[in-house]
Amino acid sequence: MEKVHTKNYVTGPLTIPGLWAQRPVGTINQGFLIQGVMVKCIAIVLSGCGVYDGTEIHEASAVLVHLSRAGAKVQMFAPDMDQMHVVNHCEGKPTAEKRNVLQESARIARGDVSDLTKLDITAFDALVIPGGFGVAKNLSDWAVKGKEYTVQPQVEKLIKGFHGVGKPLAMCCISPVLAARALPGCEITVGQDSECERWPYAQTATTMTELGCKHVNKNVGEVHVDVKNKLVTTSAFMCNAPIHEVFDGVGVMVTELLKLA
């Protein structure tokens, strides 16, 4: 057995300073057993900070709140690389400034974020990737190449790695495009496939179908669970919806993820 100190790792009411939990060395998909409660260990991959060039902050916060409420242990990661570009969020226009994805992600993580290269799949029960244009610009080149896009190699390796050992994944907003490339033929939702004021990015669903995925139309408060691939997706801000509806939809995603973990 190895001793794993839970201080600074277990979120919410289960945090007990100085408590030691035990798990068998090499244990996979068993989390931590603390006072008879199984605590799941969840890795979150960020892509910067800010909807137009990084992680969508509200989506990331929603993921963290719902995981905290469920008593999960969370660790955040991001690639140590330059952003594709930096966007002035007041004007929605690129600037000449340079920023680092890992350093920007630290803003969301309150400084507690690790280089993506240090993510050890055996230490976690599931992987979550919130949305934001950073997914399409930093974790992939979807924003530039569209249908001909590729996924950042480290990110693709991790998605395939979690999938390969039967550990579940959750993605919201635009991040399901990462699964579409890494897990050909998977089932996902990015919301609806008919464009309107409420669904301005519906063309993404059509493209996912063209890539060989099965797209399932879902409303913002709903998720789709690809049982075969243990993949949970929801639309989040792909829908022009009130923030509380997005928050609730992310909550459903987290709940379904933890059922699979």
Q: What is the DSSP pairing of strand 224-226 with strand 231-234?
A: antiparallel
What are the respective helix, strand and coil percentages of the chain, to the nearest 5?
Answer: 35, 20, 45
172 has catalytic annotation: no
* φ and ψ at residue 87, rounded to 5 degrees: -110, 130
Q: What is the DSSP pairing of strand 224-226 with strand 214-215?
A: unpaired
Task: List the strands of the sheet with 73-78, edge to edge.
Answer: 113-115, 73-78, 41-45, 126-129, 169-172, 231-234, 224-226
CA dist., res. 139 & res. 217, Å (int):
25
Q: Tokens 């399932």 belong to which residue?
A: 216
Give the active site residue among 173, 186, 213, 239. 173
CB proximity list for 46: less than 8 A, separation 6 or greater: 54, 55, 60, 76, 77, 78, 101, 105, 108, 109, 113, 130, 134
Catalytic residue numbers, as ranges: 173
